[in-house]
Amino acid sequence: MSKTAFKFTAAAIERLKPPAAGRVDYSNTAIPGMQLRVSASGKKVYRVKTRINGAQQAETIGSTAILSLAEANNRAKEFLSQAAAGINPVAERRRQEAEAAAVPTMERVMVERYFPHAAQRMRAAYFSETVRSLRRDVLPKIGQIRIDQLTRRQIRDVLDGIVRRGRKSYAAHVKSYISAFLNWCVREDIIADNPALRTPDPDTRRKEDRERDRWLNNDEIPLFWFACNRVGGVYGPLFRLLLLTGARRDELAEAPWAEFDLKRRLWTLPGRRSKNGNEQVTHLAGPVVEILEALPRLRPGDPSELLFTTTGTTPFTGFGAARDRVIAEMRKSRSVEHFTIHDLRRSAASGMAEIGISEHIVDRILNHSGRRVSGVARIYNRSQYLPERAAALNLWAGHVMKLVRPQPVEMETGVI
């Protein structure tokens, strides 16, 4: 067996030393076609190389700094499986990306095509009001969404935001403007159907449905932040981290230190602990690392110790009571509506959308399963956007810090 061929294990890969110059490719004897490229810089990258319909094809899977060996193995196997069936995963991904790039956004269709059309058919005053409303209340929220991916929920979020400003009747008008635009898109064969037709009228949903839309706005976040500080203990840091990361409560509250690499600023949530069974890598922004470093340790150096515990082995309970204490502290400053701990996750999602982070990036940060896809598309839907997700979490943390600190705070721009 060549020195450059061996069965890949995490320990063996960790022991590999970089070459003096250039790079060395190692082959995985357990998965023929899978490689590990080690560069003189010390960077280690998983690759896959095989012949597809007689032509040599190679593709980078990802860096060892981002992917676990198990995940890299799975992606390599799926790539090779596709190749064995005569499908070129690289060409297929490029085709899908080209198709996606060819689909225009809401804003592009509305501004370039619909407005000129409507100007010729609407009364001047009505046209002016339509354009003003769509530009002010719709395009800033959902203008950059692909027209073919617009959902009923996204339209509802726009309308609910208007209702929360105390303008329920105006929200109904905005819905009619959106629906008229989408009906025109259907007639022009731009989209297959109009999702606004299935969207409930503003604020006509059941009370329990409306409560699921609760999230902390920019005025409430500082109140929440300082209330967490006054509550203290483990709940204050935990609640702040939930806001900054968008993590699910139990996934963070039951996390051991073994999942965290503060030096590389990574939290790796294994699939066995995640709600959807998928491993999730989360970038830790600077403020998150500061909170984690300040947490008390009962057994320093023990990776099995939980982050939030009094025993080191069992997680906390009583989250509802702690949340109510936070709300009570917030209400000492002004009236605040009730919210749940899960609303902190919704606050992170809504807040990131508010500052311009794309929906598909937010979905991956939240570890949502997303649309059901298969084959090559599923491989690349899982593997993309790690740097973008890191940049988004840095941007969100910077935004929160600007809200809670009186002096300007420089946002981080580093990525994983």
Buried b vs exposed e over 76-115: b needs ≥16 C-beta within 10 Å?
bebbbebbeeeebbbebbeeeeeeeeeeebbbebbbebbb
Instruction: Kindly tell me the number of DSSP H helices and DSSP E strands found in the chain.
Output: 19, 8
Q: Is residue 285 within a helix (H) or strand (E), and if so which, with residue range?
A: none
- How far is Cα of residue 384 from the mean position of the Cα atoms in its chain? 11
Domains of the chain, with CATH numbers? Answer: 5-101 (3.30.160.390), 106-211 (1.10.150.130), 220-404 (1.10.443.10)
The DSSP secondary-structure symbol of 262 reads T
Q: How deeply is 125 buried, as exposed, middle or buried, from its count of CB atoms within 10 A (0-12, 13-18, 19+)?
A: exposed
The one-letter code for the residue type at 297 is R
Burial class (CB in 10 A: 0-12, 13-18, 19+), 368: middle
Distance of alpha carbon 295 from alpha carbon 305, whole angstroms: 12
Q: With bands split at pLDDT 50, 70 and 90, how would you rate the model's confidence at 376?
A: very low
What is the Cα–Cα distance from 158 to 210, expressed in whole angstroms?
13
Determine the 3-state secondary structure of 210 from DSSP: helix
Q: What is the pTM of this model?
A: 0.49
Q: What is the pLDDT of residue 319?
A: 83
Q: Is 356 left (phi over 0), alpha (psi -120 to 50) or beta?
A: left
Residue pLDDT, tens place only, 15-33: 999 999 999 999 999 999 9
Q: Select the more confidently predicted residue: 400 or 373.
A: 400
pLDDT of 276 reads 74
Whether 220 and 243 have beta carbons less than 8 Å apart is answered as no
pLDDT score recorded for residue 373: 39
Joined tokens for residue 370: 């997303």
In contact, 93 and 380? CB cutoff 8 Å: yes
pLDDT, tens digit, for every residue of 258-312? 999 999 999 999 988 887 778 899 999 999 999 999 998 888 888 888 898 867 6
Q: What angle do CA 90, 96, 101 make, to 5 degrees?
A: 125
Residue 132 has pLDDT above 70, yes or no: yes
pLDDT digits (tens, 9 = 90+) for 102-131: 668 899 999 999 999 998 888 888 888 899
Tokens of 275: 């709600």
pLDDT per position as a tens digit, 143-199: 989 888 888 889 999 999 898 888 888 888 899 999 999 999 999 888 888 988 877
**Residue 140 is encoded by which pair of tokens?**
């800033």
